[in-house]
């Protein structure tokens, strides 16, 4: 068997860097999805009671729910 050529083109540590960057990006995608689901749950819970009572409810509710989610987060 021929030994592997470990020249300047074969850098095994580069794979680890790419893999780590991919995992970080993937974790960000899952976390963004979680934030969106929390905000959606907030909107769904508040809509039946407040959509007919508050003016411009549909304009501001998403910002309010995102602010609520951010205030409850523990980093």
Q: Is residue 6 part of a domain?
A: no
- pTM: predicted TM-score of the whole model, two decimal places: 0.58
User: In total, how many domains does the chain have?
Assistant: 1
| Residue 67 within a domain | yes
Residue 9 counted as domain residue: no
- Is 38 domain-assigned? yes
Whole-number pLDDT of residue 33: 81
Average pLDDT over residues 11-37: 65
**Residue 37 covered by a domain:** yes
- pLDDT at 2 (0 to 100): 55
Residue 32 has pLDDT above 90, yes or no: no
pLDDT of residue 67: 93
Residue 45, domain extent: 33-75
- One DSSP character per residue, 13-56 reads HHHHHHHHHHHHHHHHHHHHHHHHHHHHHHHHHHHHHHTTTSTT
């Amino acid at each position: 068997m021929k030994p592997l050529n470990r020249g300047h083109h074969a850098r095994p540590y580069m794979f680890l860097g790419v893999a780590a960057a991919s995992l970080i990006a993937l974790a960000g995608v899952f976390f963004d999805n979680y934030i969106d689901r929390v905000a959606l749950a907030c909107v769904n819970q508040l809509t039946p009671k407040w959509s007919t009572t508050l003016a411009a409810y549909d304009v501001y509710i998403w910002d309010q729910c995102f602010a609520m989610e951010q205030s409850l987060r523990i980093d």
